[in-house]
């Protein structure tokens, strides 16, 4: 069974998802990301989904779970490379990925992660209020 | 699980088609004579694909579940089309110099037979064989379903159901998230819950499915209830199973609410439309594109549900996902 590589870049983790991702592999990724955040103390996870196909509806659900688990472990998640068709499918299936941030490409995604992570921690922490898209 | 689809692009596959059809017929309890006749039809359909088209085509050999009992063979191809179906059905007519009894013979051997052909679209032939011993009453509506797994899977993650009750006819398509056995588990659970709880309001039934699917990975579900007595169709759907009601050439897309049964169902809403003798209900999972239009197949609205189902499947299904198409209409008056 293939495992998806998780790269460490400073205090962030970087993951790239390709097409034909098997469901078991996606579930394994969930576990691996959680463990790695806990072990490394990473503050952010950047997931590149530009390679995902339309029909990966279950992957959408897994992404939501990864984001929620990461948040519990004090890390933010940014999704990069969301394609319009994928966005529409996820909306129709109620996989709104609330609390998950998005960016158009990896550079913007890293910038966003830096910004969110370095934001002062006070009651008005904007990252908890929904999606942010960096243009 | 045997594959339902038999590609027919070269002569050795004619034997495949015949064997597949015989095996299924025997399995379903047809006697030897009838099985032999079914095999002849399968063989003839396959031979026609090779004889009359350049690229061949495919046969779907599948059992008929509720409301029927029996099997059907569908022939689909993307050829140039037949110039005159009516002429071809007459014994003795042939464009290839053969006896010309093929189509007529198939029609005589089948319990239900239908054909549709169009220039640059190709031809669809449907032959149905009913198991008289098992099927006691005629279904209230003309119903057909084609459901195929994603190309690398054996099990289809989509599930469909047609159920006649005292409170109307329930028709449902469920699309389990992702594909494979776990998707199938989710969609089959939806069917189970429908069978156990119907009749009821479509909203209540959908809520029951949302509750019952919590331990599965979830499914998109579209559910319709056809009330023939009051001439109404009630509909509720969660997710992206496309539901369409065709009346007098108008394609009405029935609204589903965003969500996944078993995972997220913030709103479940019911919509009601009129159902007439000319109405056609078409449900399909997202493995089939929604870009089809009945107007591109002039005359098809008066053909059987199987023909309409096969036409949409043939031209709009994508094989990188499970694809299911379900068609329901009133029996034709011919």
As a whole-number percent, the residues of chain A with pLDDT over 90 amount to: 37
Whether B220 and A59 lie within 8 Å, measured CB to CB: no
Say yes or no for a CB contact (<8 Å) between B260 and A54.
Answer: no
Cβ contact (<8 Å) for A94 and B239? yes
Among A97-111, A114-128, B101-115, B224-238, which range has the highest average pLDDT? B224-238
Give yes or no for residue B198 having a pLDDT over 80: yes
Q: Distance from A15 to chain B by nearest Cα, in Å?
A: 20
pLDDT band at A131 (very low <50, low <70, confident <90, very high): low
pLDDT in tens, B291-321: 999 999 999 999 999 999 999 999 999 877 8
Average pLDDT over all residues of chain A: 82
B12: its two tokens: 């050795």
**Residue B273, strand partner residues:** B233
Question: In which band, very low, low, confident or very high, does the pLDDT at B213 lie, cut at 50, 70 and 90?
Answer: very high
* B148 beta partners: B323
Residue B229 sits at the vertex; the CA angle it makes with B225 and B231, to the nearest 5 degrees, is 65
CB atoms within 10 A of CB B173: 29
| A53 CB within 8 Å of a chain B CB | yes
Burial B95-129 (b: 16+ CB within 10 A, else e): eeeeebebbbbbbebbebbbbbbbeebbbbbbbbb
Output the pLDDT for position B249: 79
pTM of the predicted model, to two decimals? 0.89
Question: In degrees, to the nearest 5, what angle opens at C-alpha B302 toward C-alphas B92 and B318?
Answer: 95
Nearest Cα residue in chain B from A95: B259
Query: Residue holding tokens 């969500």?
Result: B259
Task: Give the pLDDT band (50/70/90) at residue B218.
Answer: very high
Residue B87 has pLDDT above 90, yes or no: no
Whether the per-residue pLDDT at B115 is higher than 90: the answer is yes
- B62-88 mean pLDDT: 85
pLDDT at A58: 82
Q: To the nearest 10°, report the CA torsion of B261, B263, B269, B272.
A: -20
Distance, in Å, from the CA atom of A28 to the CA atom of A46, rounded to the nearest integer, reads 17
Taking CA–CA distances from B152, the nearest residue in chain A reads: A20
pLDDT band at B53 (very low <50, low <70, confident <90, very high): confident
Written as six digits, the tokens of A94 are 């109620």
A91 touches chain B (CB under 8 A): yes
What is residue B28's DSSP assignment?
T
d(CA B216, CA B221): 14
What H or E segment, with its residue span, contains residue B283?
A: strand B280-284
pLDDT of res. B205: 97
Secondary structure (3-state) at B276: coil
State the Cα–Cα distance between residues B139 and B131, nearest whole angstrom.
13
Using 50, 70 and 90 to split pLDDT, how confident is the model at B2?
low
Q: Quickly state the pLDDT bin for A24 (edges 50, 70, 90).
A: confident
DSSP secondary structure code for residue B8 in this structure = E
Nearest to B46 by CA among B57, B31, B34, B36: B57
Identify whether B199 is preceded by a cis peptide bond (ω within 30 of 0): yes
Interface predicted TM-score (ipTM) of this complex, two decimals: 0.81
Distance from CA of A125 to the nearest CA of B (A): 26
Cβ distance of A61 and B263 shorter than 8 Å: yes
| Band (B3; pLDDT cuts 50, 70, 90) | confident
What is the mean pLDDT of the segment spanning B74-78?
92
The residues facing B261 across adjacent strands are: B219
Torsion of CA B148, B149, B152, B155, to 10 degrees: -130
Q: Hunting for tokens 């196909």 — which residue is that?
A: A53
Q: What percent of chain B has pLDDT over 90?
A: 73
Cα distance between residue B256 and residue A91, in whole Å: 12
Instruction: Give the pLDDT confidence score for residue A36 in this predicted structure.
Output: 93
Contact B256 A59 (CB under 8 A): no
pLDDT category at A59 given cuts 50, 70, 90 is confident
Quick one: pLDDT at residue B333?
A: 64
* CA dist., res. B159 & res. B169, Å (int): 17
Model confidence at B144: pLDDT above 60: yes
- Quote the pLDDT of residue B92: 67
Would you say residue A123 has pLDDT above 60? no
8 A C-beta contact, residue B314 and residue B140? no
Does the beta-carbon distance from B321 to A91 stay under 8 Å?
Answer: no
Distance CA B212, CA B189 (A): 8
Residues of chain B contacting A96 with CB distance shorter than 8 Å: 258
In which band, very low, low, confident or very high, does the pLDDT at B98 lie, cut at 50, 70 and 90?
low
Q: Which residue of A55, A57, A58 is in closest CB contact with B320?
A: A55
């Amino acid at each position: 069974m293939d495992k998806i590589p998780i790269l460490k870049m400073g205090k962030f983790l970087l993951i790239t998802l390709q097409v034909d991702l098997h469901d078991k592999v996606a579930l394994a990724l969930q576990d691996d990301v959680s463990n790695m955040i806990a072990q490394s103390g990473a503050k952010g996870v950047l997931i590149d989904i530009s390679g995902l196909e339309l029909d990966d509806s279950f992957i959408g659900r897994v992404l939501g779970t990864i984001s929620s688990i990461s948040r519990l472990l004090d890390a933010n998640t940014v999704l990069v490379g969301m394609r319009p068709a994928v966005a529409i499918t996820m909306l129709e299936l109620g996989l709104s990925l609330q609390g998950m941030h998005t960016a158009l490409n990896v550079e913007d995604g890293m910038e966003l992660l830096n910004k969110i992570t370095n934001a002062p921690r006070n009651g008005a922490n904007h990252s908890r209020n929904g999606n942010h898209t960096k243009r | 699980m045997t594959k339902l689809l038999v590609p027919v692009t070269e002569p050795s596959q004619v034997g495949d088609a015949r064997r597949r059809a015989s095996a299924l017929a025997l399995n379903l309890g047809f006697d030897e004579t009838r099985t032999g006749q079914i095999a002849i039809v399968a063989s003839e359909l396959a031979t026609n694909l090779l004889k009359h088209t350049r690229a061949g085509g495919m046969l779907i050999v599948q059992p008929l579940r509720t409301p029927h009992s029996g099997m059907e063979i569908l022939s689909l191809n993307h050829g140039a089309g037949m110039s005159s179906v009516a002429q071809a059905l007459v014994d003795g007519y042939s464009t290839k110099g053969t006896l010309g009894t093929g189509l007529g013979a198939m029609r005589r051997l089948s319990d239900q037979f239908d054909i549709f052909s169009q220039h640059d679209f190709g031809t669809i032939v449907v032959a149905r064989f009913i198991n008289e011993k098992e099927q006691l009453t005629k279904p209230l509506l003309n119903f057909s379903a084609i459901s195929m797994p994603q190309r690398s899977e054996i099990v289809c993650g989509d599930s469909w159901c047609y159920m006649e009750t005292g409170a109307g006819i329930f028709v449902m398509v469920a699309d389990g998230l992702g594909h494979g056995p776990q998707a199938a588990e989710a969609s089959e659970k939806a069917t189970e819950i429908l069978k156990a709880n119907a009749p009821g309001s479509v909203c209540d039934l959908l809520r029951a499915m949302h509750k019952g699917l919590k331990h599965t990975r979830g499914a998109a579900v579209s559910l319709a209830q056809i009330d023939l007595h009051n001439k109404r169709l009630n509909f509720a759907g969660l997710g992206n199973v496309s539901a369409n009601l065709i009346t007098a050439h108008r394609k009405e897309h029935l609204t589903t609410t965003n969500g996944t049964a078993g995972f997220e169902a913030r709103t479940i809403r019911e919509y009601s439309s009129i159902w007439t003798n000319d109405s056609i209900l078409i449900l399909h999972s997202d493995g089939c594109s929604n870009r089809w239009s009945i107007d591109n197949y002039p005359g098809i609205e008066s053909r059987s549900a199987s023909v309409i189902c096969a036409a949409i499947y043939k031209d709009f299904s994508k094989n990188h996902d499970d694809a299911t198409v379900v068609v329901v209409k009133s029996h034709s008056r011919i």
